[in-house]
Amino acid sequence: MSDALLVALLLSRLVFTHPFPSIWRNILREDRHDLPSYTQAYTRGQRWLERLEAVATPSQSCTEVIVDSMPLPVCQPKRGKRCSFPGARWGYGTQGDVYGYKLHAWVTSSGAIVQYLVRPANLHDTTVSYELNRRWPDFSGPRIIGDKGYCCLGYVFPPKRNTRYDTGWWPGRHPQLRKRIETVFSGLVEAQIRSVQTKTSRSLRLRVVLAILAHNLAQP
């Protein structure tokens, strides 16, 4: 079986939002008995990780993007002290403490994920956003819309009481626009992007890139 078909089969489960990889693989093998097991398919998929990451975030023209982050825990918080996952760190999210990583992403107003980074959970959102900004020219210099966690020059964010300059925030438009990225993250959670059954950083990266590719393919 070719690698292209193998990647397509890995993406098919996420496109059709089936929750269990092994059961989905058994369903596919009812018609194709020559399919490899889920473990074999996932192992072969890791060979194409770098190329898949490049395909998932091509350069394109954008007028505005929404930036935000979501936690990617590698274990339950009570097991964090015993976890030896490489690179994982303690961080804080809207739902409390998290041990693992965070997904930082740019999302367009139509819901497509155009760029993302996976970084340790202890890094501040603004710090990682500067890494995302390195590819700002590749997307034709879009306007970046964030929340109060991105209160710095160069971003559109809701002003605080002591903000002394115009942040470009429109109360009649930007709050509704910010809901788009929350909807996108909810879809990624349904695709089990937060599943903690991961032992290496490459397998975590593969899970993330497959979820993002499947999400973008499902966009109208």
State pLDDT tens for residues 33-63.
Answer: 778 877 788 788 888 899 999 999 999 999 9
Q: What is the pLDDT of residue 214?
A: 92
- Pick 109 or 33 by higher pLDDT: 109
In this structure, the answer to whether residues 203 and 161 fall within a common structural domain is yes
Burial of 84 (0-12, 13-18, 19+ CB in 10 A): exposed
Q: What is the pLDDT of residue 109?
A: 93
In this structure, the answer to whether residues 51 and 65 fall within a common structural domain is no
| Res. 153: pLDDT tops 90 | no
In this structure, the answer to whether residues 85 and 164 fall within a common structural domain is yes
In this structure, the answer to whether residues 44 and 32 fall within a common structural domain is yes
Residue with tokens 């970084």: 119
In this structure, the answer to whether residues 110 and 185 fall within a common structural domain is yes
**Whole-number Å distance between alpha carbons of 25 and 30:** 9
- The domain boundary residue, chosen from 33, 55, 77: 55
Q: Are 129 and 150 in contact (CB under 8 A)?
A: yes
**Whole-number Å distance between alpha carbons of 16 and 146:** 31
In this structure, the answer to whether residues 41 and 112 fall within a common structural domain is no
In this structure, the answer to whether residues 138 and 203 fall within a common structural domain is yes
In this structure, the answer to whether residues 48 and 132 fall within a common structural domain is no
Question: How many domains would you assign to the chain?
Answer: 2
In this structure, the answer to whether residues 67 and 41 fall within a common structural domain is no
User: What domain range includes position 175?
Assistant: 58-217
**Whole-number Å distance between alpha carbons of 179 and 186:** 11
